[in-house]
Chains A and B, each alone.
Chain A
C-alpha cells in the first residue's frame, strides 16, 4: 500500500503534525503514536495539517476521535488545516466540522491557539 509519514514541529506551545500520503487502517498507528507522544510530553495544543495528505479512510478518521477527549480535558485541542476538497468532503460528510475547527492554512490554525491566550 501507499506510503504514509508524519513530521512534527513545535511552534511555541503549539505542535503541528504534518501528514503526508495515505492515511488508512494500516498507516493509522503512525499518527496514533504521534498523539500519544505529544500527550506524554503534555503538549495538548495540536494542529494537524493535511496539505500533503492524499487520502484518508474511515479508520484514519477514527484516530482523531481516540484522543480528542483526553486532550480537551487538559484544556487543549486538535485543530485541522490545509485539507483538499476531497479530504474535506469526507470530514464534512461525517460532521467533523461540527466537532473540530478546520482552517484553510496551518498558520491560521496556530494563530487561533495563540489568540485564545
Chain B
C-alpha cells in the first residue's frame, strides 16, 4: 500500500492541503498538550508524525517522478541537502544555546516560543528525511521494473516497525523486539543498496563526478550519523521530539551512508569500462554507423545483419531482428541473440494480436500480457518495435528486445526511431537495387535469347521460279521456342522445317540452336522427311532433358516431280488451300524427344501431295491458333481457315500479312504469350511468270516486327 503509488490518485492540491493540515496539527498539538512525562502524549504525537512522514514521502515521490530526473541530478540534490544537514547539526546546539541560553534544560519544559522553534527545526529535518527517502526510492527503481519491489517493500515495512518499536519498546522489557526490527532493517537496507544498475548508462565524465560526489556524500552521511547519535545534541533533541522519527531519521542516514558507499565502489569498478561505453555511445550518435548501412545496400542479407547488429548497440538491447512482409507471410531476418522460435512467438503476439500493427513510429511494448511468455527460451520482457517504411507501405519491422528486468524507456525511443528511419531507407534502396538488377538480368537473358533466335531463323525467304515463299516470325517478349528454316538440298529440291521447342527463354533458344544444327546437317544426308525426323528424334532423345521436347514438321518439295512430301512429329497440321477449301493434313507422329526411337518410328507417317497450280501450303506454330484475346478466347482453327479461304487468290505475302493482321487485331488487348511463326508456300506450274512477279512485290519489312 505504501508504495503502490496511491499518491497518484491524490491530486497535488489535495496533498498540499493534507501536509499543511498535518503541520498545523503537530504545532497545535505540541503547543496545547505538551507534556514531558505523558506516554499518551508521545504516542499521539508519534502517530501524527508518522502520518506526516507517510504523506510527505508520497508527495516527494510524486514530485520527483513528475520531473523525471536523471540519477546524477538526484545524487547531487541529496548531496547538497546532506551537506546542509551536516552544518545544521553542527551549529544547531550553539545557535539554540545563544538563542535560548541553555537549550538542554529547556528540552523538557519549553516555553511557547521555544516549542515553536523546536518544532520548526524538527519538522525541517523530517521534511529532509522524507525527501531523501523518496530520492533513494527513485534511484533504486531507476531503469528497473517498478513491479519488482518485494525487497524494497519489505525494507519499508521493517523500517516502519523499527521506528515504532523505538517508541514502544526501547529501554523497556521488550527491547529485544526493537533490536530485532533494527537489525533486520539494517540488513534489508544493505541488500537494497547493492543493486545499482543505472550506473552503466551514464557517460565517463558523469561517472568521474559521481565518484567524487558519492565519496563526499557517503562521508557526510556517516558524519551526520555520528553527530546525531543519542549522546549528541541532535540525538537527544530528536528523541525528545519523537522517538519514532528519530529512529526513522537514523535509518535513512544509515541507508544514505551505505547506498553512497556502495555507489562509490560500483562507480569505481565501472570506470575502466566507461571509456568503451562512451565510445560506443558516441559512435551511435554519430553518422558513422548509418554510413555503414549505405555501403551495404548491394547485399540485402548482409545489410539486414548489420542493421540488427547496430540496433542492439543503439538501443542497448539484448536482441534484435527484422520482420519483412512477404505477401501474407512474415519473414524473420537476421535474428541477433535470439532464437528463431522466440522471435516468431513474439512477432505473432505483437503483429497478429493487433498490439503493434499500424504503428507509424517506434513503440515500446512490454510482454506482461503475452500469454505464451513462458514458452520463450529466454526471459525477454521489454520490446521496442519500429516500422520499416517505404514511400507507400510498411515493408516490415525492426524489433529490439531487452531481457529480464531491464525495460525500454522513452529516451531510448528517439535513438531507435532515428536509426530505424535510416534502416528503412537502406532496406528500400537495397530492395529496389535488387529488383532492378534482376530485371536487367532477365532483360539481358531475353536479349540474348532473341539474338540467338534471330540468327537462327532465315534472314530472307528463298526465291524460286515455281514456288513463292513468304514467312513471318514474331517472337514473344519472353522468347518462345519457334524455329523455321529452308534447306536447298539440290537445284530441284527444297527442304524446310517448322518447329516449336517446349519452353521459353534462353534454354529454349539453346535447344533451337541444336535443332537447327541437327536439321541442317540431316537435310544434306537424307532425302526422306520421315528418315530425317527419325534420326532427329534419335539425337534429341539422347540430348534433351526428359521434360523437354520439340514439335516439328519437315517437308521436301520436289520441283521436277511437282510433289511435296512431309512428315509431322507432333507439330500443328499442314494446311492445303485448294479450290477455295482448306484441307488439314495431320499424319501420325509423336513429338521429337518424347519417346524412344522404335515407338517413334512405328507411328511416324509420311504424306505425299501432288501439287496443282495455285496450291497454297500453310505451315504454322500454335502461337497463331492459340493467340488469345482479352476474354481468353483462342484465335482458333475456324478463324484461321476462314481468313485463308478469303485470301486464297492473293499473293503469299498478302495472305501472310492478312493472317497476321487478323491475329494481331484479335489479340490486340492481350499479352502475346508465345512466338508466332507462319510459312506460306504457293505452287506455280512450270513457266508460270506470275509467280516470280509476285515474289518481287512482297513486303519483307513484315519479318522483322518485334514486340
Partner-B contacts on A (CB < 8 A): 25, 58-59, 61-63, 65-66, 69, 86, 90, 93-96, 98-99
Q: Which of B503, B549, B588 contacts A25 (CB 8 A)?
A: B503
Q: Does B307 contact A (CB under 8 A)?
A: no
Chain B residues in 8 Å Cβ range of A58: 500, 502-503, 549, 551
Given contacts A61-B502, A98-B595, 9 further A-B contacts (CB under 8 A): A58-B502, A58-B503, A58-B551, A62-B549, A65-B549, A65-B594, A69-B546, A86-B634, A99-B590
Chain A residues in 8 Å Cβ range of B503: 25, 58-59, 62
The reply to whether A95 and B547 contact each other, CB–CB distance below 8 Å, is: no
Q: Which of B504, B548, B572, B591 contacts A95 (CB 8 A)?
A: B591
Within 8 A of A (CB), among B574-603: 586, 588-591, 594-595, 599, 603
The reply to whether B588 and A59 contact each other, CB–CB distance below 8 Å, is: no
Chain B residues in 8 Å Cβ range of A96: 590
Residue on A nearest B500 in the bound complex, by CB: A58
The reply to whether A94 and B504 contact each other, CB–CB distance below 8 Å, is: no
Chain B residues in 8 Å Cβ range of A59: 502-504, 547
Chain B residues in 8 Å Cβ range of A86: 634
Bound: A58/B634 CA distance, A: 16
Interface size on B, residues (CB 8 A): 25
Bound: A94/B330 CA distance, A: 44
The reply to whether B546 and A94 contact each other, CB–CB distance below 8 Å, is: no
- 5 A-B pairs in the complex with CB atoms less than 8 angstroms apart: A59-B503, A62-B502, A65-B547, A93-B622, A95-B588
Say whether, besides A98-B588, A99-B599, A62 and B548 are in contact (CB < 8 Å).
Answer: yes
Bound: A62/B551 CA distance, A: 12
Partner-A contacts on B (CB < 8 A): 500, 502-504, 546-549, 551, 569-573, 586, 588-591, 594-595, 599, 603, 622, 634
The reply to whether A93 and B634 contact each other, CB–CB distance below 8 Å, is: no
Chain B residues in 8 Å Cβ range of A95: 569-570, 588-591, 594, 603
Bound: A25/B507 CA distance, A: 13
Could you tell me the distance in whole angstroms from the C-beta of B569 to the nearest C-beta in chain A? 8
The reply to whether B595 and A66 contact each other, CB–CB distance below 8 Å, is: no
Bound: A95/B588 CA distance, A: 7
Chain B contact surface mostly: loop
The reply to whether B547 and A98 contact each other, CB–CB distance below 8 Å, is: no
Residue on B nearest A24 in the bound complex, by CB: B673
Bound: A62/B503 CA distance, A: 9
Bound: A108/B591 CA distance, A: 27
The reply to whether B502 and A98 contact each other, CB–CB distance below 8 Å, is: no
Residue on B nearest A90 in the bound complex, by CB: B622
Q: Please name the 4 residue pairs, one residue from A and one from B, whose CB atoms are nearest each other, closest first.
A: A95-B590, A58-B502, A62-B547, A94-B570
Chain A residues in 8 Å Cβ range of B594: 65, 94-95, 99
Bound: A12/B551 CA distance, A: 37
Residue on B nearest A60 in the bound complex, by CB: B502
Chain B residues in 8 Å Cβ range of A69: 546
Q: Which of A25, A62, A94 contacts B590 (CB 8 A)?
A: A94
Could you tell me the distance in whole angstroms from the C-beta of B82 to the nearest C-beta in chain A? 77
Say whether, besides A25-B503, A61-B502, A99-B590, A93 and B546 are in contact (CB < 8 Å).
Answer: no
Chain B residues in 8 Å Cβ range of A98: 588, 590, 595, 599, 603
Chain A residues in 8 Å Cβ range of B549: 58, 61-62, 65, 94
Residue on B nearest A98 in the bound complex, by CB: B603
Could you tell me the distance in whole angstroms from the C-beta of A67 to the nearest C-beta in chain B? 8
Chain A residues in 8 Å Cβ range of B504: 25, 59
Chain A residues in 8 Å Cβ range of B500: 58
Chain B residues in 8 Å Cβ range of A25: 503-504
Chain A residues in 8 Å Cβ range of B547: 59, 62-63, 65-66
Chain B residues in 8 Å Cβ range of A63: 547
Bound: A62/B569 CA distance, A: 15
The reply to whether A65 and B599 contact each other, CB–CB distance below 8 Å, is: no
Bound: A108/B134 CA distance, A: 89
Could you tell me the distance in whole angstroms from the C-beta of A21 to the nearest C-beta in chain B? 12
Could you tell me the distance in whole angstroms from the C-beta of B671 to the nearest C-beta in chain A? 10
Bound: A93/B504 CA distance, A: 20
Bound: A95/B602 CA distance, A: 12
Chain B residues in 8 Å Cβ range of A65: 546-547, 549, 594
Bound: A38/B686 CA distance, A: 62
Could you tell me the distance in whole angstroms from the C-beta of B357 to the nearest C-beta in chain A? 28
Residue on A nearest B625 in the bound complex, by CB: A89
Could you tell me the distance in whole angstroms from the C-beta of A105 to the nearest C-beta in chain B? 25
Chain B residues in 8 Å Cβ range of A62: 502-503, 546-549
Bound: A5/B663 CA distance, A: 31
Could you tell me the distance in whole angstroms from the C-beta of A96 to the nearest C-beta in chain B? 8
Q: Which of B548, B591, B599 contacts A94 (CB 8 A)?
A: B591
